[in-house]
Copies of this chain bind each other. A is one copy, B any other.
């Protein structure tokens, strides 16, 4: 079987669902790569251009938007952030999977740009558990916790646009299930199955 293209895996889910941890563990597999985003925000101390982000001017970012170079982009606190398409495509062509940790709006943009992307939604065990986790962080006051819960519910309402969901009760189980999803997606019969059949026919006629 010739080298298969990698899979583009989008992981989304409300803040507090452990999505970042799931992504970090998936990235320990050497077949899984992350993608470096482009941003207009200034580098913080220790951040390196091309490692944490590609740091660019607003003009350059906007040129990239117009050229259709992003799989998705968004504005966060006046700064622009985006996922450059060419980096992702290069890695997929080399047979690596690319794991994108992005919000639901970004996930939907990616699906539109690359319909073959696999979208995984991470759910907290329940909203009350999510509340507990957000309160447990101790970094958000009661009002902010309520705001985040409302945002979570709005994100969850878009779950129908996603391909898979997993409930993060246990981080190891969640990661194992995400790995199973990636493995299964790599075992899908491709729309164009001609290559598989041709290989068998060639071998058969060569006997």
Contact = CB atoms under 8 A, between A and B. Distances in A.
A127 B189 contact: no
Contact of A180 (B167, B179, B189, B201): B179
Nearest to A127: B203
A160 B177 contact: no
A204 B128 CA distance: 8
A121 interface: yes
Given A159-B189, A162-B189, A189-B160, A149 B204 contact: yes
Contacts of A1: 167
A142 to B, nearest CB: 12
Interface residues of A, number: 37
A193 interface: yes
How many monomers of this protein are in the complex?
A: 2
A31 to B, nearest CB: 14
Contacts of A204: 127, 149, 153
A157 interface: yes
A185 B165 CA distance: 10
Contacts of A27: none
A102 to B, nearest CB: 17
A113 interface: no
Interface string A157-169: 1011011111100
A164 B181 CA distance: 12
B187 A183 contact: no
A133 to B, nearest CB: 15
A165 B203 contact: no
Interface string A24-46: 00000000000000000000000
A165 B184 contact: no
Interface of A: 1, 121, 123, 126-128, 131, 149, 153, 156-157, 159-160, 162-167, 177, 179-181, 183-185, 187-189, 193, 196-197, 200-201, 203-204, 207
